[in-house]
Each structure stands twice: as structure tokens, then as C-alpha cells.
A and B are shown apart, each in its own frame.
Chain A
């Protein structure tokens, strides 16, 4: 059994979730037994995973596991299904606030019922008041229509404990907030404890990480097989980079890097480690395998850490067979001068540099245009977006550069455009530029670690220009736009180079890891009392 470990599967996915889902679908197509393992509680989890194409059967959420709610038939729960234990209630709908105010015949507030307007007033949460006006609890409902979490309040209105329930409403997992000396402000409450009742046993944990180890141990035992190992692929290190090293029973543990291991990706040998990977990099040899997405990163890790653990290079992007075999669109059929970029408008994406390059190009080739697809990062009051807007003003690009927001309509956009531009400060792989070449877009990128300088092959499917040199980027754009033959050659090269990320090639790369796991399994088993 292969477990892909992540926190949640939100609607707005980052590259890690996209990569994970692509891998999941690839494995599914290849009939590999697997589960998506999500660690964090999320009442919308099953709606989101179903939307991502993952069956409930293929998903284990840690909270679901303990609540025994992995498989629950969805039913619509509305305010009339709730039982407040009080007679003579009046339900006042407040559509503008998406809630009902429930009052008794003395006009005392009994509850506020918050619902989802667009889903037939499906109940999301209920704020409950006692007969003396105290808010004592807020109940949160799972999207499938059962009460999942109760948050209990102190008399002075702070959350003091959380209780997760089974489908019958009985407590199974509780977490407590207490005052401790570890907190500077005495009045602040800290989560200090998790208490689990599972299969009639009681367990106590200090942290959710300890609880996670217990969970991983449990599924490792549930799916134990003497003939083949459970393979845990950790996609977000904070969830279990320690935990995977402390499982009771043997397993094959995989640290999957989705970003540069170095804090400064352009200085992979010296810079302080990416905080997310600092622990794992220091404990590298305790994992069974490390996966990075590009040969460059694998090489850099080898050079810097000289680990004993096998390093695997496996692309995190997969070009589906259907796309790979789609009809090629020639450059002549595309909109001349149309550049696109699919990225969050965020500091590390450095899109203002791409806009600068377009500004320079426009002075020579007025037809050039740039469409940016992706939601704006809110950090520092939309700092990145403001930087882009400043450059647009400076170069008078209001007619040429457009921020179009997030889209899923990639085929239509990329079959029309001509060039994919990338000027990031750092990357872990960059699925978007891979998608770009698979659609025959000419790829122009900074020489940035990791991914773009591997996906883009200089002078074959586009150009790699020096890191941070937007003038060079402008030159590369001008060169391509002025030479239709060159453009057609790069575009065809792009289509061809996407083959590297074909389902067959990526699966073959994973198969090497799976083979390694299988090969080592009998030795691991032999060193324990299991499997006898």
C-alpha cells in the first residue's frame, strides 16, 4: 500500500497538491494500491477530494479514521433537522448573514445556525447558548451532514476544548486548551493535550504530531503485508518528518521534496536550509528514500550532504497521454506576441521582472502582450501585485499586460498563446511551465533552481537566460518574435520535450523506487518479529 501524506486538499491548491493528485491519478491508472492520507481536520474535506477526483474509498483522513467516518453517505442537513431540546422555538432567517437566529418563547437566543446559502441552506455550524445567555459551544458539521466537532467555550468566551465525535455523536477525540507557564500572557490558552478513545482504549498525547504517529502506526498495522511494504510518501514535511522515523512497525518511508532544500535556491551548497526541510535534511539517512523532482536538485543534495539514502529523481509533473498525443498547434495559428504565465502573483514568482521585459520588448514590437493567470498573494498588503502594477504604470503597459485571475481553462489559453515566460526567484519544479511546453509554448526562463532550468532546454524548446536579467529575457523574446522559423522550431521542440514527463516515463521512475522498496522489504521484515 502506498500512502501519500498531506494536510488538506483545499480548493485553492498549491503545486504540492497538484503534483500529489497527478501522481495519485497516474498510480490509479497503473492499478497500484494506494491511499491519499490527509492529516488535518476539514469539514469540507470530502467535497474537495471528490471534486479533485478522489473517491472516499481512496482517502484516509486522520480525523475521519478516529471518528470512524471515512465512509459516510452524504445527506443534506438543514436547520429543521436540528434538535435543541427546547419547545416553542421561533426560527428567524437572516439570509444576508446566511444564518437563522433561533429564539425561545421568552425571546432568549437558543442558537445561531450558520448555513451555506448556495447549498440549500446546508448547516455549517451552530452556536449554542444556555438558558442564561452564555455561548457554551459551537458545533461544526461535516459536509456529509453529521456533527463532527464541538468547540467548548470558557465562561469568558474562549475556546477551552474541542471534541470530535463519531457519527452517533459520541466523543472519540478531545483536545484541551490550558494556561501554562510556557505562555507569556497568562490569560492566553495553549493547546496542551489530545485525548483519544479508540477501539475501547484511551490514549493521551501532548501534540498533534504525537497523535499523528499513533495514526500512522495504526494504518501501517491495518495495511501490513509480509509480502510488500507500506510506502509512506511525505508530501508536506511538517506533518511527519519526525513521526515517520518513529513508527513501531517497519515501513518504507519517502521524503518527497517539493521545493528547494536550500533557503536560497541559487546557492544550494551554502545557504541556510529551507526551514521546512531543515530537520529532514539533518536526518536524511533515517529515511528509506528521498525524492526530488529534478536531476539538478538530486545532484546538489548528493554534493552537499553525501547521504547514504538513495536519491530518486522523479518529475512531479505528469503530461497526460491525451495531451501528449493532442494535435500540435503551429506558431502561425497562435496570437503573435502573446506571452502567458500561470503563477500566484507572489514575491518569489517575481512577475514584475517579466512585466519589465515585456515593457522593453514593446518599445520594439508593439504587438507583444502578457496575460497573468493566478490569484494575488495577500502578503504585505498585496506587495507583489503592487510591484507588478508599478511596472505596468512605468512602461505604460495597461493595454498590454492583464492580470486575469485564477483559471482552470488551461488548454484554451495555452493553445492560443505563443510564449510562456518565467522570471521566478526560486522554484521547486513548476508544473505550469511543464504544462506550457506540453501545449507547444515556447519556454523562456531565468536560470532558476529547481525545475525551470531542467524543463526548459536551452535552444531546444526555448531559452534559459541568466538569473535576474530581465533585459536578457527581453532580448530572448524579441529574438523569437522576429524569427518565425526559430519560433516554430522551439514550439515543436517544446511539444517533443514534454515526452520526458509522459505518464510512461514518470511511472517508470516511480517503479524504480517501488522496486527498491520491495527489494529491501524482506530484509526489514527479517529484522523484526513480524511476518513469522
Chain B
């Protein structure tokens, strides 16, 4: 059994989660049982895992495990059909589509919120006292059962979180008290777990306990830590056949000269020489492997692919230049400073000198709203406001559509562990114009200059724009480059990735 472990599956996932999702699918496709294991409490997990194309049987959440709710089929629990509400005593009064009130003879005693993206399904029931202070908040799982109950300190902050099994019994309890005057969770207690109580001082202590429990249930377990925040609890697990830490990103802020850069603090535990709790550190590229090995000669560091292109994508029909939105440039990725999205706007502005109808589509969830405002302001300043399109981050289908309608993808990031967005672009035959960055353009694996795109110095939006214009203004060049991208895509096959992983596991 393989457990790929991180914090969560989100509504908006980063490359780490996408890589982990794809690897989970890959292993299971080769009948090598793997589960996507998550630590964080997420009562919408059933929705989120389906949104990324996983099935509940290959996802295992720590809270679900202790709540005994790993295998629950969804029912649609309408808030008006809640058995707990005595409707001979209280009225349910609708207040728009997002919430209803529970009223006793005209006075509100609770607010019932509606599950996101549903009509009338229960999300929370928040009881309040006569002064409007919240007393109890009951939280429903996407699958239609009451999953947890919260209480509050007098100032309204969380006091306790109680997690329930399907019989409504409390099986796990988090207490929020003060450490150095700051109120935060201070205790996780498993109640009557196999006849005993267990008290933990942190969520990660509980995580180690949880992983030990699931490791016991299987033979020959491989654990992969996909998030540095989980290296510590995974490192302490005993009984696994092998344990790896997978680095999805560049381990140091010095992306230009990784060998002289100090690692990010969160990487220190995995990189620590004396405290080697992992059988190996895994990285997506040989270049990163060599950089780490050079600095940490005693460490076992190996390369294991981060992503693949599914067989169905590889066999889909190619999309021609004219079947795409004419002169559409795509930026695909999170809108956050390290991805340098401002450069994309600058590239567009310059490109439009040569291609006057060029447009730029941003697809990615913003790290914060301020970034979007900044990008809009920059677009206004450069007078390309009406040519910049912000598409909300979407599921695979939405991403595929964006890749299908673009003619060029640009990569402006300062550094990438391995640009998964560009690998996906290959599957859609997109020419790539990328800055020269570790570890995405260190080899020709993704972009080969002048073949399926261009690699340009990172400090030059002007040069990047010229390259983009060059492609957009030459349909025949575009066709050659697109064909080259389609060709490169074939190197990222599922078989190849799985074999590479088998090799890693073997040694």
C-alpha cells in the first residue's frame, strides 16, 4: 500500500496537490494500491475529491478515519427535513437562498446556512442565545451527516470542536485555550478510541498516531510526505516499509544558485543529516537532485517524475491555429508574487505593438484580491485593460478549455520545481515562451528553444514579447512548434512515470 500524504484537497489546489492527485491515479491505474491521505478536517472533502477526479476509496482523511466516516454514501440533507428540528415548536423562516432562520415564536434561536452550490441542503446550524451570542454551531458533511459541533468562548472565538461518528457520538475533541496569551488549539483528545482515551498536544502528534494506526492495517506500506509541514509527523511513524519526502518545489529561495542558497526553514527537517527519518528525498528533476546531492552528499536523493499526461489526452485530436482564439496568450497558474504575473501584462503590452489584437488570459486562483487589483491597475496603466481576461480558476475541464483556445502559453515565474502547467500545455500542442528558470528549463524536457517555443532571459519582458509576436505572426512557425509540443507530450506518458517510480522504490 502506498500512502501519499499532505494536508488537504482544496477547492483551489496548488501544483503539489495536483501532482499528488495524478500520482494517486497513476498508481491505482497500474493496480498498485495508493491512497491520497490528508490531515486537515474538511467536511467538503467528498465534493472536493470528486472535483479533481478521485474516488472516495482512494482518499483517506485523518478525521474521517477517527469518525468512522471513511465510507459514507452521500445523501442530500435538506435543511427543512432535519429530524433534529421540532417543527411543532419552531418555525423555519427562509432568508434568501443562502440561509434560513430557526425561530421560536418570532425570536431567532438559530441560523441555518445552506451548503455551498446547493439548493436548501444544510451546511451549518448556528444556535444563539437571547443576546445573539453564538452558543453551538453544528457542521454538516457534504455527504449529509452532522460531522462536528463547535462551542465558543465568550468573545466568540472557538472554544471546543467535537467530531462525531455517524451515531452522533463525540469521538474526537479539540480544545482551544491560551499559549502565551494567544488562544489557539491546545489539545486533541481521542475519546474511547478502541476503549481508551488519547491526549495530544498538537494536530501533528495526532497525525503520527493516525499514520501508525493505518500502517498497522497493511503489509509493506510506503509513505510519501508531499508537504513539508508533514515531514515531522510522518518522520516519527514506525512500521512502514519505506518513507520518502517528495519536494515539489525548489527547496531554497535562491532559485538562481540553489547550491549556495540556504534552504527554506520548512525543508530543514527533511534535509537534516543527523536526523534521517526518510529513506530518500525525491525531487522532480535531475538538476535539483544534483544540486541537493552536491550540498548534502550523505543524503539519499533521487529523481522521480512529478507528472504525466494521461493516455486519453495523448490520443486526442490536435487543434489547429485557426480553431483557437486568434492571438490569445495564456498565463496558467496561481496569481501570486513568485509567479510574477505582472510580467505577463508587460509582455502583452509589448506584444500588442506587433500583434495589435493580442489578448492575455489569466487562469489561476489569486493568492489575494490585492494582486488582481494590482494586475488590473497595471493593465490600465499600459492601456491594455480591455485585452486582459481573468478567468476564474476551474476544474480540469475548464483548464482544458483554456488550453484549447490559447495559441501561446507564457511562463514568467522566477522558479518552478517542475512546471506542471507547461507539461499540460504540451498535451494541447501549445508553443511555450518561458523565462530561463530552475528547474523547468534547465533541460529540453519541456521547452526546447526554437523547437516548441523559446527560452528567454528572465529579466526581459521585451524579448519575451518579441518571441510571442514572432510565433503569433507566423502561422507556419506556429504549426511546427505546436507539432513539436505534441511530440514532447509523448515523453510524459503514464508508463514512463510509473516505471521511474518503480525504479525508485526498488533501490
Contact = CB atoms under 8 A, between A and B. Distances in A.
Interface of A: 83-86, 130-132, 134, 136-137, 152, 154-155, 160-161, 168-171, 174, 176-182, 189, 192-193, 195, 197, 200-204, 206
Contact of B160 (A152, A181, A195, A202): A152
24 contacts: A86-B199, A130-B177, A130-B186, A131-B201, A132-B178, A134-B177, A134-B178, A155-B153, A155-B183, A169-B170, A170-B169, A174-B136, A178-B131, A180-B130, A180-B133, A181-B131, A182-B131, A192-B131, A193-B130, A193-B133, A201-B83, A201-B86, A202-B125, A204-B127
The 3 closest A-B pairs by CB, nearest first: A85-B197, A85-B199, A193-B129
Contacts of A170: 168-170
B131 A203 contact: no
B199 A201 contact: no
B196 interface: yes
Given A134-B177, A200-B83, A84 B131 contact: no
Interface residues of B, number: 43
Nearest to A210: B104
Interface stretch (B72-80, B187-195, B223-231, B471-479): B187-195
A130 B127 contact: no
Contacts of B104: 204
Contacts of A189: 154
Contacts of A181: 131
Contacts of B125: 202
A178 B154 contact: yes
B154 A85 contact: no
Contacts of B160: 152
B135 interface: yes
Given A132-B179, A168-B169, A203-B89, A195 B136 contact: yes
B212 interface: no
Given A169-B192, A174-B136, A195-B135, 5 more contacts: A85-B189, A136-B175, A155-B178, A169-B191, A204-B109
A136 to B, nearest CB: 5
A136 B179 CA distance: 12
A130 B135 contact: no
Contacts of A131: 186-187, 199, 201
A155 B104 CA distance: 32
B151 interface: yes
Interface in B131-174: 131, 133, 135-136, 151, 153-155, 159-160, 162, 168-170
Contacts of B190: 85
A154 B160 CA distance: 11
Contacts of B162: 171
Nearest to B149: A171
A161 B159 contact: yes
Contacts of A168: 169
A83 B195 CA distance: 10
Given A83-B197, A130-B175, A200 B84 contact: yes
Nearest to A182: B131
A161 B201 CA distance: 23
A189 B178 CA distance: 19
Contacts of B127: 193, 195, 202, 204
Contacts of B135: 174, 176, 178, 193, 195, 204
Q: Name the residue among B154, B162, B169, B189 with the largest chain A CB count within 10 angstroms.
A: B154
A180 B104 CA distance: 20
B330 interface: no
B109 to A, nearest CB: 4
A84 B197 contact: yes
Most chain B beta carbons < 10 A, residue from A84, A154, A182: A154
Contacts of A86: 199
A110 to B, nearest CB: 8
A160 B159 contact: yes
A173 to B, nearest CB: 12
Nearest to A82: B197
**Main SS at interface, chain B:** strand
A206 B108 CA distance: 12
A155 B129 contact: no
Contacts of B89: 203
B129 A178 contact: yes
Contacts of B83: 200-201
Nearest to A187: B154
Q: Name which of B84, B110, B151 has the most chain A CB atoms within 10 A of its CB.
A: B151
A69 B128 CA distance: 28
A422 B133 CA distance: 54
Nearest to A174: B136
Contacts of B198: 85
A411 to B, nearest CB: 52
Given A83-B196, A85-B198, A160-B154, A134 B186 contact: yes
A85 B85 contact: no
Contacts of A161: 151, 159
A131 B201 CA distance: 6
A529 B191 CA distance: 47
A174 B159 CA distance: 14
A155 B131 contact: no
Contacts of B130: 180, 192-193, 206
Most buried by A among B151, B175, B177: B177
Contacts of A200: 83-84
B170 A171 contact: yes
A132 B187 CA distance: 9
Nearest to B89: A203
Nearest to B133: A178
Interface in B94-137: 104, 109-110, 125, 127-131, 133, 135-136
B176 to A, nearest CB: 8
Contacts of A155: 153, 177-178, 183
Contacts of A160: 153-154, 159
B159 to A, nearest CB: 7
Contacts of A178: 129, 131, 133, 135, 154
A174 B187 CA distance: 21
Contacts of B187: 130-131, 136
A161 B169 CA distance: 19
Contact of B129 (A85, A136, A176): A176
A446 B313 CA distance: 105
Contacts of A132: 177-179, 186, 201
A180 B197 contact: no
A203 B86 CA distance: 8
A201 B85 CA distance: 6
A179 B199 contact: no
Contacts of A154: 153-154, 159
Contacts of B175: 130, 136-137
A90 B188 CA distance: 21
A180 B198 CA distance: 37
B500 to A, nearest CB: 43
B447 to A, nearest CB: 51
A161 B135 CA distance: 9
B477 to A, nearest CB: 65
Contacts of A203: 86, 89
Contact of B151 (A152, A169, A182): A152
A130 B199 CA distance: 9
A177 B153 CA distance: 9
A168 B86 CA distance: 24
A195 B154 CA distance: 16
Contacts of B136: 174, 195
Nearest to B102: A204
Contacts of B199: 84-86, 131
Nearest to B202: A131
A425 B197 CA distance: 58
A427 to B, nearest CB: 40
A193 B178 CA distance: 25
Nearest to B138: A202
A462 B120 CA distance: 79
A161 B150 CA distance: 12
Given A134-B177, A170-B170, A192 B197 contact: no
